[in-house]
């Protein structure tokens, strides 16, 4: 008999990411459901932020969300944010600079680290 092994994720913020995204970005509507997981949702959110990078409220919501996520979340949250959001934000250097100016603590450290590794060393 075949048994599937499901990993239990103990990162509370990661498990609530769907609700946190919709609370933080009231104008964002996703094609993904909670059951689709955090990665596609955050990827779609990254595209939404890029598309609306000229709107001050979206920039502020992005900064607040990233700071909160990386302060409250654990490894699973960090991984999802770095892979799905940071990679999109780095595509626009002006947007990335604006976001970086508002980050602090762990969020700022991770943002700078992966920006340098991904885009400035090549």
Per-residue pLDDT of the chain (122 residues; tens, 9 = 90+): 555 445 566 778 998 999 999 999 999 999 999 999 899 999 999 999 999 999 999 999 999 999 999 999 999 999 999 999 999 999 999 999 999 999 999 999 999 999 988 765 54
SS3 8: coil
CA 13, CA 52: separation in Å to the nearest integer?
25
CA 68, CA 63: separation in Å to the nearest integer?
9
Closest CA to 92 of 65, 64, 119, 113: 119
The reported pTM is 0.88
Please check whether residue 2 lies inside any domain of the structure.
no
Please check whether residue 26 lies inside any domain of the structure.
no
Domain boundaries, position 74: 12-21+33-120
Is residue 89 within 8 Å of 95, Cβ to Cβ? yes
Structure tokens at 10: 């103990």
Is residue 117 within 8 Å of 77, Cβ to Cβ? no
Q: How many domains does the chain have?
A: 1
Please check whether residue 7 lies inside any domain of the structure.
no
Please check whether residue 3 lies inside any domain of the structure.
no
């Amino acid at each position: 008999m075949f048994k599937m092994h499901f990993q239990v994720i103990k990162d509370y913020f990661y498990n609530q990411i769907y609700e946190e995204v919709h609370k933080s970005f009231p104008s964002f509507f996703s094609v993904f459901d909670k059951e689709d997981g955090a990665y596609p949702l955050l990827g779609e959110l990254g595209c939404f932020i890029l598309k609306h990078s000229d709107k001050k409220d979206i920039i502020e919501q992005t900064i607040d969300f990233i700071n909160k996520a990386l302060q409250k979340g654990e490894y699973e949250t960090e991984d999802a944010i770095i892979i799905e959001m940071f990679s999109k934000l780095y595509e626009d250097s002006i947007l990335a600079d604006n976001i970086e100016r508002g980050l602090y603590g762990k969020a700022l450290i991770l943002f700078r680290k992966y920006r340098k590794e991904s885009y400035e060393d090549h």
